[in-house]
């Protein structure tokens, strides 16, 4: 019997609620438009990252708030699994998500992605898994100093501790931890996320879809 590696991707997502998503963007374009943008980003994620038959991974999600998982599943029914986010900050939530993937999904390789990266696609995810064959950690940098993707083959909890989340130091601090533990890191191409009005102007394809 041939062994098929289990490659699991999961997106860290929020249920699309008014005033709860894209709050920085909402300061410029209002809560309703910000919610519309977030829904378009989720649609874009499903279109470009849900695996096709030729892909070697499955894509699930970790959602907040947990009580709205059933509603989210009704709206976006193509994910392989739906789990709750647990933790007091982003690092703890990601750490718990990885632990869940390794313990309950039997993953050989695991990747977490963000929900607000318009140009993220299946090919980039496949490339990340390919690079995990020869590296301990794969990171997809964003141009604001963070990362849109992190992948690993085993748990490294220190990557999620004492990081100043939400700042332009996230990637550098994460790389410093990798260096301290002699982890081999592969950096993917840098992509942009969509957090504010200036970012939105860079994505006319999304603006065009807004009502």
Q: What is the pLDDT of residue 2?
A: 45
Q: What is the pLDDT of residue 4?
A: 55
pLDDT in tens, 131-177: 999 999 999 999 999 999 999 999 999 999 999 999 999 999 999 99
Which ranges constitute the DSSP H helices of 55-158?
69-75, 90-104, 122-132
How far is the C-alpha of 66 from the C-alpha of 139, rounded, in Å? 27
Q: Residue 122: which residues within 8 A CB-CB, separation 6 or more?
A: 48, 49, 51, 52, 55
How far is the C-alpha of 99 from the C-alpha of 155, rounded, in Å? 7
Which phi and psi angles does 150 have, rounded to 5°?
-140, 130
How far is the C-alpha of 53 from the C-alpha of 128, rounded, in Å? 18
pLDDT in tens, 81-94: 999 999 999 999 99
- CA 140 to chain CA centroid, nearest Å: 10
Q: Where are the domains of the chain?
A: 7-206
Q: What is the pLDDT of residue 5?
A: 59
- CA 58 to chain CA centroid, nearest Å: 14
Residue ranges in the chain whose pLDDT is less than 70: 1-5, 211
Q: What is the pLDDT of residue 211?
A: 64
Give me 159's structure tokens: 């990557």
**Average pLDDT value over all residues in the chain:** 94
Q: State the first-to-last Cα distance of the chain, in angstroms, to the nearest integer.
A: 52
How far is the C-alpha of 39 from the C-alpha of 44, rounded, in Å? 9
Could you tell me the fold of the domain covering 7-206?
Spore Coat Polysaccharide Biosynthesis Protein SpsA; Chain A (3.90.550)
Give me 203's structure tokens: 């994505």
The residue count of the chain comes to: 211
């Amino acid at each position: 019997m041939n062994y098929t590696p289990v490659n699991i991707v999961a997106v860290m997502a929020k249920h699309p609620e008014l005033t709860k998503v894209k709050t920085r963007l909402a300061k410029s374009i209002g809560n309703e438009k910000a919610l519309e943008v977030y829904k378009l980003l989720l649609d874009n994620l499903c279109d470009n990252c849900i695996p096709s038959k030729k892909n070697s991974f499955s894509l699930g999600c970790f959602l907040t708030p947990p009580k709205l998982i059933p509603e989210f599943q009704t709206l976006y029914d193509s994910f392989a699994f739906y789990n709750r986010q647990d933790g007091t900050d982003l690092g703890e939530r990601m750490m718990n998500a990885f632990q869940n993937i390794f313990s309950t999904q039997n993953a050989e390789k695991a990747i977490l992605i963000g929900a607000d990266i318009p140009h993220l696609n299946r090919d980039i995810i496949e490339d990340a898994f390919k690079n995990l064959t020869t590296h301990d950690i794969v990171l997809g940098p964003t141009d604001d100093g963070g990362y849109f993707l992190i992948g690993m083959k085993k748990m490294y909890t220190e990557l999620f501790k004492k990081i100043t989340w939400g700042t332009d130091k996230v990637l550098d601090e994460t790389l410093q931890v990798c260096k301290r533990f002699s982890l081999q890191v592969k950096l993917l191409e840098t992509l942009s996320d969509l957090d504010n009005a200036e970012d939105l102007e860079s994505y006319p394809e999304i603006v065009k879809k807004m009502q």
